[in-house]
Amino acid sequence: MREIIRVGVFAALSGCGVIAGSGGGNAPFQGVDNYKARVKAVGALEQTALSGCKAAQWTGKGGFFEVTADAGGKIAARQIAWDGDPALAKCFLDAAVKQSLPPLAGPPVSELWGVAPPNATMPTAGKAPETEMVGINGRLQEQGVVACAQRYLPPEMPVDIEVTFLVFGTRAYVVNVANSNSKDGDYDTCVQQYVGGQEFPPAPADSYYPVRLRFHVGRSGKSESI
């Protein structure tokens, strides 16, 4: 029986966790194709990383982990939700950070790993509260995204950026820059970190929901399409 169940959250969405500090010459967004390949590569590490963690007896439902690859290929991981033996969760975390990927300049890239007992079914994603998210999108732009632009971009430079993430409880996990035409890695990382530090409408109990937000700064209608 398989003990590891993959959760294909980003097959369509594609998705912060441990993020390098901004303000120090971070490389620009790696491009959509490279980004999607990086998400897939982080997800592909799961079976290899967790194959050595065997539970003598499952005592719970399992859970979710956020796994992040930085620009140098170093892997970081954190527990999102776990119901079961703490020693098994620690084994999963320890196994994850022993993995690595080739370097890829650009913002860190995260993926969701889901682990469950044999024959169990992982929770499926819920639906984001669309009406509330419209207001949240505007608030985040006014309160944080504009500040990132003022810090890192030339005045009135038109830029679009898309950020994706998953909400567990009220917090954002697996926060990724899914697209950007800023050509400024410090701006991209600033927005990624800012969004990752916010709270959002609560997800359903024992579940989560995906979100994609798009922000525009600078002159209206003058940026390259993303």
Contact 107, 29 (CB under 8 A): yes
Looking at residue 6, what is its pLDDT? Answer: 34
Taking residues 190-210, what's their average pLDDT? 94
Structure tokens at 16: 């912060």
Q: What residues does each domain of the chain span?
A: 130-217
Least confident of 18-22, 63-67, 91-95, 99-103: 18-22
Contact 191, 144 (CB under 8 A): yes
Type of residue found at 146: V
Q: Pick 130-217's CATH classification: 3.30.70, 3.30.1150, 3.90.1420, 3.30.300.
A: 3.30.1150
Structure tokens at 4: 């590891």
Q: Whole-angstrom Cα distance, residue 37 to residue 31?
A: 10
Q: Whole-angstrom Cα distance, residue 28 to residue 25?
A: 9
Taking residues 193-219, what's their average pLDDT? 94
Contact 42, 111 (CB under 8 A): yes
Q: Whole-angstrom Cα distance, residue 58 to residue 55?
A: 6
Q: Whole-angstrom Cα distance, residue 148 to residue 102?
A: 29
Contact 167, 203 (CB under 8 A): yes
Q: Is the dihedral of CA 79, 83, 87, 88 positive or negative?
A: negative
Q: Whole-angstrom Cα distance, residue 9 to residue 91?
A: 23
pLDDT digits (tens, 9 = 90+) for 82-135: 999 999 999 999 999 999 999 999 999 999 999 988 878 888 899 999 999 999
Q: Which residue has the tokens 């963690």?
A: 53
